[in-house]
Structure 1
């Protein structure tokens, strides 16, 4: 990638602030339904009578819904356009959170949790193509901003859940987060109701941004336009036939598998090594916190590199070192092993950036994001279960870590393919107009008309 995609120079942002705010708010909403529950699960179980099996299922529902509705998101975007689908998804997530907070039984609680997570699963997939459509000249910067917001949405709810639950009850502690979902929908409603004049002016802004991305001199655009809602996404090829798509899927799924496994089992690994439960919880918080700096830095670096495989290699080395320490000496050097493992998951924001850097159009980004996240989350959900089975069967952590080392090898293999400077539209079949840069440049502005 050239510096034109780095995100530091581009068309004016004046017509895109509402869109940027919308992207950030959506990102802040995408992990709340998961992160807000676990710290107060004991309080919830007192009222809704979740048994152990149902509580375990609650930990699996997010991955299932992310996989299922992530796979459906491209079909919905093709039929109705990205922006209205996103509005509905955010409102559905908010409605599910409110209804869940009022549940009186375990089945009802699980069902409404699934509804909330369904909306978030759609949002997961639609964020990368929105960046592609509205910020083709600032992919690195905007991806950095929204992936950092994702990390914040994972970290903040657990910090507030317990104090709010103690003061106002667990129902308020869960239901209050619906405000974020409603807020996330509002900017996109504004995008969709802009006037025809604003649409024409936004075309100029986005055309200039696309020209900069392609290394051309931009045509001056008038300042101050309103955002432009795009037309329905038109599919341009069979994404599952693309080696790039499969490489991205392996990279994304193995990263998520390692992340979900560490969130589920790191405290137990440390407790088994003699560390207190409170201490293990603090190390998990440190592990989570490291997602914030990597989320901001990695996309910016990736846009400056023709092939960002070196980033993956560095993070893989961190994970290998961290896992070896946790396997061989978890109670000695815990800080180093936790820091290394937490930093190693920086391949997640890289995967998000590549969904745009390896596509020419918003349509391509929708297809790549939907395929890699839909299939990826389905694979990732198996990781914590397999680790638990291996631990129960062997009574130790060596076999589970061997499984994780194998997953890292698969991740690296997928990254070798995904990081190559090849565009999705050149690798899927049938080859269509989207493979033509002249046509794709129109598609990337979100205005095929």
Structure 2
């Protein structure tokens, strides 16, 4: 396939994908920095805070399973509009609620939209940028990484200047703006379809060089099949991808939940230093977002990249266990943070391990749902192990054990085959 200029006839798709990617992370990262300010206005019990903490992976898993059904009825573009609208509405509601119940419900709406968006991004990239997957995945994952840093940096200053309600609601602007490109593309497609029917020119067959196609991309998608979704569960490659994504999710959610507490307890650092170390952990994912898509798509470097992330993560955990000295913490956390490269790696693999956007939707749903179920369990497990043992040695060993156990899955995910290839090799026609 000859690569076309990224913006040629696809400017709206570029904007739509980048705005959606930015909204997926900013919607999640904008709440925790202002929790203390919210609790000053109305009480937030530990149970409510715990529920809010578990909502992201639970909603991501549930709506990861529901998204293919909705996509079958509405199509990729329309369900993307629904997801972004849910995020925007939930963010606005979070800024106007007056009690903890309203906060939980509004947050659930936000994460429902994010859960759908998580599933839709890889298929959208595959559908509109099959000739530029590496470049577009780089832009998409970088947008997500960037939106992880911005909200924590500006949320509190904005809240101090304009109140926590404005600080929460302002992020709805990006989700609402993300709706516009997809609506314009849908309206153009509807108009072009109506014009074609009225002109009735059967001798003209639309091609990929026609202006209408390149301006909007193919809007209609064939219905996804429950039968095909069921087949995914019988393909080892799919489970390998789910383990890769799940390992990435486990490391991220365990770290954001417990890493500050761990470094405070094992090294005696201040909360301010612990917050800086958490930011360092998150920052290590930014270079990966820039490099991973190109390295995987062009150079097929899946296995070396996975081993790099897993081994660096293991070394970082070993450092926290064996030499938790204040002067070395930054090194151990930075090494552990390299495990963040598994996230863009998993997203790129979802796109290139499927042949069509339709199968990419199914694969994305299956892989991310399994991954987020694991991510919902492990932060709780780490807390239980800490309470049972009175320290962090056992929880850290378990986290390191997850990385070691995931290595065979990373090697299997490095096979240069699609899930359709795997099925046909074992069982016949897809």
**TM-score, normalised by the number of residues in structure 1:** 0.87
- The structure in which a higher percent of residues are helix is 2
Q: CA deviation at 1:124?
A: 0.4
Matched, 1:228 2:217: yes
In 2, Cα distance between equivalents of 1:233 and 1:47: 49
Cα gap change, 1:233 to 1:348, in 2 (>3 Å): farther
Q: CA deviation at 1:196?
A: 7.1
In 1, Cα distance between equivalents of 2:205 and 2:112: 31
Q: Deviations over 1:394-437 (max 9, x none)?
A: 1221101111122112322222222211211133489797x5xx
Matched, 1:353 2:342: no
The structure 1 residue matched to 2:237, chosen from 221, 244, 253, is 244
The structure 2 residue matched to 1:189, chosen from 159, 172, 183, is 183
Match of 1:119 in 2: 113
Match of 2:59 in 1: 65
Note the aligned Cα RMSD (angstroms): 2.2
Matched, 1:94 2:88: yes
The within-5 A match list for 1:270-419 is: 270-272=263-265, 273-306=267-300, 308-330=302-324, 331-419=326-414
Q: CA deviation at 1:307?
A: 5.7
In 2, Cα distance between equivalents of 1:90 and 1:223: 25
Judge conservation of contact 1:28–1:153 (CA < 8 Å) in 2: yes
Matched, 1:259 2:252: yes
The within-5 A match list for 1:85-234 is: 85-195=79-189, 204-205=207-208, 225-234=214-223
In 2, Cα distance between equivalents of 1:203 and 1:423: 29
In 2, Cα distance between equivalents of 1:315 and 1:101: 38
Q: CA deviation at 1:204?
A: 4.0
Q: Deviations over 1:138-191 (max 9, x none)?
A: 111111110111111111111111011101111111011111110111111111
Judge conservation of contact 1:97–1:116 (CA < 8 Å) in 2: yes
Match of 1:214 in 2: none
SS in 1 for 2:130: coil
In 2, Cα distance between equivalents of 1:166 and 1:12: 44
Q: CA deviation at 1:355?
A: 0.5
Q: Deviations over 1:115-153 (max 9, x none)?
A: 111011100000000011001111111111101111111
Match of 2:201 in 1: none
The 10-residue stretch of structure 1 (124-133 or 49-58) with the greater mean CA deviation from structure 2: 49-58
Give 5+ residue unaligned stretches, structure 2: 197-203
Match of 1:80 in 2: 74
